[in-house]
Each structure stands twice: as structure tokens, then as C-alpha cells.
A and B are shown apart, each in its own frame.
Chain A
């Protein structure tokens, strides 16, 4: 579906006409990311991150396929095969560092994309399905990244796999057999490494599939915008091409600049030194730490240290960690405010920034060793995290009095420009 004023696809060249009759892929592209998709004219730079996440996925798939040509998924040789890529494969060091830092870049842009959605209420009707599919993509990304981190078979690979698969053993009674079944052994070893490699190769294509659904679901109501007011008529929109292709092109340039700086000048900045030590099941690292993008969730996992209601603290931690993500599925119904954008929600805006700080604190605690004062910090921050989504947000959306809103996107844009020009003349 699209707006009635969307430019229709009218192939001129006989070949394109022939193609349109047989397999209308050019029509699909034209209507999805071309002149045939009208988009609100007032999107700010935070709307770049969806395209950037897509670019990051493409980079990961391309570099990953090349790495898989040289990598050997065998516990005996995996570590050295990565070093073979780093030392002997032509430009292998570049491909491997790009893949390693590409994962971080992917999470950076996806976190910004998610927080954009939280601030501007992008998860609300009529875009609930877009949000739900987005959370599915996020979960798939986490699974993919975790399994990818295991593949170099360094110390953190091995012990990370040990900790994460240990979650399953927290399930009462059947937990241990499930863990052994998933790992193909009593501890991570060759069987686990092989299936992780297989799944690590599979899941990005599943992600690509869910991204298509994510974009499809988005194109039914059309893109949201910083005012949260729905598109009313043609002057509220511009065609995606050339307006947003140009803006996204600039966004991709900035993204690549950061990516290149990280990959070439400080490729190990976000990694952990222990992963350059080959996996050794007999030697436990002093601090087992996951990759940075898991730190907030790792902090929530470790915050539960009390057997509350006779449920084991470890099980509480695992349930809470999964709940911290699962609650995002219910967000469209937890927040009942009809106003989308926090620009017009003074109370929600404050709590949004408190949440941002809270997640940063959780991340810091997840990185830090399990000592005081980090333990109590993570406990307080985890409590706030659940309070924010499950208690504060529903109450705020009920008691808050939104600010007056413009009647349309165009009115908001013109009012902004009137302000700017009056400020300029004054």
C-alpha cells in the first residue's frame, strides 16, 4: 500500500516494460525505496540508522563469506586458522578486522535505531508489527554475534560459550540434559564449535529475511517522523528517491568513516585481550566478560544474587535477562499514550533520558568485575530498568498532559522555519 499521490512506476524502455510484465522487480524497488515511496519530509538524522543497519548486515555477510573460505571450524585448528587469515591470506587481516569491528558497528547503529524508536514512539499503532519484527531481528543478532564470538576459539570464546550455554542448566530438572544436547557434549568442544559455525552462517540470512518483513510492515502505514503526526497530504511527504537516498548516502559516508577509523587504527579497542589466548578448558580467566554489546544484559544476569521465593538466584538472573528483552515485545501496549513523539511528552522525555543513563550504567557494571560497588550499582540499575518499562511508562502515559501539537507535518516544518527566520532577523 502507499499514498494515493505516490508516483506510479511507468517503464519507458522496451526492456524494462518486458521485465515488468515477466517479473516486476524494478517496480518493487521503485515503490519500496525509489520515487514511488512517499516519506515524511521532516525526518532527522536519527532516521538514517535503519539504512545503516542494513549496510552493516551486508558488510558482515560479504566479509563473513570470505572469512568462511579460509576458516576451519575444528577445535584443534580454529585458533590458528584465524591467525593464518591474519598473517598469510591476502588482505586477510583487513577482512577479519572488518568483520570483527563490523559486528560492533552493527550493534552501535541498531542500538541508536532502537532508542530512536523509543524516543519517538515508533513502536505505537499503526507500526506495532514493525517494532515486533525489529525485536525479533535484535534477538537473532544477539544469537549470531554470540556464536560468531565463539568461532576464533580463544579463551573468551570458550568461557563465553560455557557461561551462555550454562543459562540452560538453570532450568530445573531438564536443564542439564538440554545443555548437553545443545552443546553435543558436557562442555563446549568440537561438536559445539561446528554447530555454532553452521548456525552463525545461517542466521544472517534469516535476519535478512526478517528485515524484508520489517520493511514490508513499515511500508504499509509508511515511515514515522519526529513529530509523530501521521502524513495527511502530499505536501507532508517527499519521494524517497532522490531525497532520502541522498541523505542516506551522506549517512553511509559518515558511518564508513567511523568504521574505517575503528578497523584500521584501533581494531582491538572493543575486543578482549584474553581472546588472543587459545581456548583452554583447564584455565578459567580471572574475569569472564562478554562483548560490549551484551554488557547491560550481563549486568542484569549477575544482579540477581538472592534465592527469592525459593527460586535459585541463577534462574532469576537468566529469567530476568531474557525478560529484559522480551518485555520489549509488550511495549506497544504498555505505553498507552496516544502521542508518539516525546517532543510533545514532557514527562516521558525525562524518563527516556533516565533510561538511557540507566542502560549505560548497566553496561559499565556488566564490564566491571563482580565486586562492590558494581554489584549494588547493577542491582539498582536493573531494578530501575524493569520499573521503567513495567511501572513508570504505563503510569506516565496515563497521567501525562502532552504539549499542544501542530496540525500537520507541514505546519510543524513551516513553524520551525518561521522561528528560525524571525530569530535571524532579530
Chain B
């Protein structure tokens, strides 16, 4: 009973699929933007690979780029001031860094009226806009995404961030009219839709680093991408260290279990 019924059910599904095959067009809708879209460039960082470490000077420079450039529009909601101890700042430096922000929303302890206070190490980086509406109103109705997780939230991660920041260019001459950037958008082949609301944010020499490191667009983009790898995955280096300890322990453990397995089975053919 099962087999004849199963046979009929199988034929039914196959017939439905054959009809689907013969009615589905074999060519895709033409999508010219694929042609002009580019895969991200590779950016090598010290946090890559199986033995990563943080390049603290680079992360500090990246944070400076974030603070002086990106933070005008982009929030960093998930990162607290205390977290930047990872970047090599001392407790005193963190306290005074937090204190340099004087617009942390608060309540006046005497009157109960809304007020502001200076930052504490436990505060998070303040967002540039009070809410989404304010952000859109200031940015031609585009919403600048929060950057805390950006290198994990985009395919290509750090490579994508680096490529996007260094990829602004004039549209190619053969770009079809419908793909030309409308007013207020900017051509960037690394962006999925090719045209992006963000204007080129970095210019050569824009940020001056205390250590005299190069400050061309590529160097700054690389620094800020490295910083955003850290904001997205602050436990990355620790994770690899613990991982190696666990892996080596398990190698020994597995070796021992293998030997006891062979030992116990030594007298049994199987």
C-alpha cells in the first residue's frame, strides 16, 4: 500500500517540478549594476590569521579617525569608554577622555530637570543624533548605520570597510544612464547599489596623528578599519589565545583516548 501510493505522490511532485522547469525562463533579468560592482580589496591587519594581536598604535589612530571624522554622523553605541583600555590607554587617560564629552544626558539632582553631565568611563560613546528621525533629517533621508558591529555585519568585513572608504571615484564613462549617481549620491563600485549617500569622508592629510604616521586616505582608511575590527570583536585576540590552549589540551586528550581505545581493543579482532 505504501509503495503504490508513494509512487503516485512521487510522480505528482516530479510532474509539478517538470512544469516548473519548462515555465521558468532560463535567462536572468539583466542587471547592469553587477558589471560595475567590484569585490572588496584585501586589507592585511595584525588581527588576521590564527595568531592575531592588536596593533595598539594603529587602533589608537583608528579611534582618532573615528572621533574626528566618522563620529560626525555614525554612532558607536556598543563601545564604552572603559573598553579602550584594550587600545593601551591608562585608567587616567580613559577618565580624562570620557570627561572630554560633556553632553551625556542626565537629570539635575536638585531639580529633576533633564540636564547633561561629563562622561564617565562606564558611559558609551555618545551618538551624534538624538534619534533616527534627527539622523535622517540631517543626512538627506539616509540613515548612517551604527559602526560598532560594522565589520561583522557586512560581507567582506574589514576589506569592505577599507574598500568603501578608498573606493570613491568618478563614474566610468560607459556607466548606463539609469546607474548614474542621482543628486546627493556618490559613485562607489564597492557599494552594492553603486551609488551611496555618504560623501567621500576622508581626504589626504585630514587627521594629524601625534606619532607622525602617514595620513593619506589609504592609511586613515586602514587605521579606522582596524579600529572597527576591534569594536566589532573586542575579544578576538583573547579568543584565539584561549582557543589554542583548548586545542592543544584536546590534542593530548584525544591522543590518550586513542591509545586507550587501541589498548582495550588489542585482543579483539573487529
Contact = CB atoms under 8 A, between A and B. Distances in A.
14 contacts: A41-B270, A80-B78, A83-B148, A253-B258, A254-B254, A277-B149, A306-B24, A327-B9, A372-B25, A379-B20, A380-B21, A386-B9, A390-B6, A391-B6
Contacts of B155: 273
A376 B3 contact: no
A391 B10 contact: yes
Interface string A240-268: 00110011011011101100110111011
A256 B17 contact: no
Nearest to B78: A83
A267 B240 CA distance: 11
Contacts of B234: 87
A253 B153 CA distance: 33
A383 interface: yes
B49 to A, nearest CB: 9
Interface in B222-236: 232, 234-235
Interface in A13-63: 41-43
Contacts of A263: 243
B141 to A, nearest CB: 13
A389 B264 CA distance: 41
Interface stretch (A141-149, A213-221, A329-337, A353-361): A329-337
Interface string A346-381: 000000000000000000000000011101100110
B173 interface: no
A42 B270 contact: yes
Contacts of B232: 276
Interface size class of B (residues with CB under 8 A): 35 or more
Q: What is the predominant secondary structure among interface residues of chain A facing chain B?
A: helix
A376 B28 CA distance: 12
A390 B9 contact: yes
B10 A276 contact: no
B192 interface: yes
A333 B17 contact: no
B196 to A, nearest CB: 15
A71 interface: no
B149 A276 contact: yes
B20 to A, nearest CB: 4
Contacts of B269: 41, 413-414, 417
Interface residues of A, number: 67
Given A87-B78, A247-B265, A372-B27, A334 B6 contact: yes
A86 interface: yes
A305 interface: yes
Contacts of A382: 13, 17
Contacts of B235: 86-87, 93
Nearest to B260: A246
Nearest to A413: B269
A87 B261 CA distance: 41
Interface in B53-104: 78, 83
Contact of A260 (B9, B11, B13, B246): B246
B254 A243 contact: no
B61 to A, nearest CB: 23
Contacts of B240: 264-265
B265 A246 contact: yes
B152 interface: yes
Given A87-B234, A273-B155, 10 more contacts: A80-B78, A83-B78, A87-B78, A256-B253, A263-B243, A264-B239, A323-B9, A330-B2, A382-B17, A387-B10
B241 to A, nearest CB: 9
A187 interface: no
B7 to A, nearest CB: 6
A238 interface: yes
B257 to A, nearest CB: 4
Contacts of B149: 83, 276-277
B177 interface: no
Contacts of A387: 10, 14
Contacts of A254: 254
A394 interface: yes
A411 to B, nearest CB: 12
A94 B3 CA distance: 49
B246 A264 contact: yes
Interface in B145-190: 145, 148-149, 152-155, 157
Contact of A376 (B26, B153, B154): B26
Given A80-B78, A320-B13, A383-B14, A249 B153 contact: no
A371 B34 CA distance: 13
Contacts of B50: 265
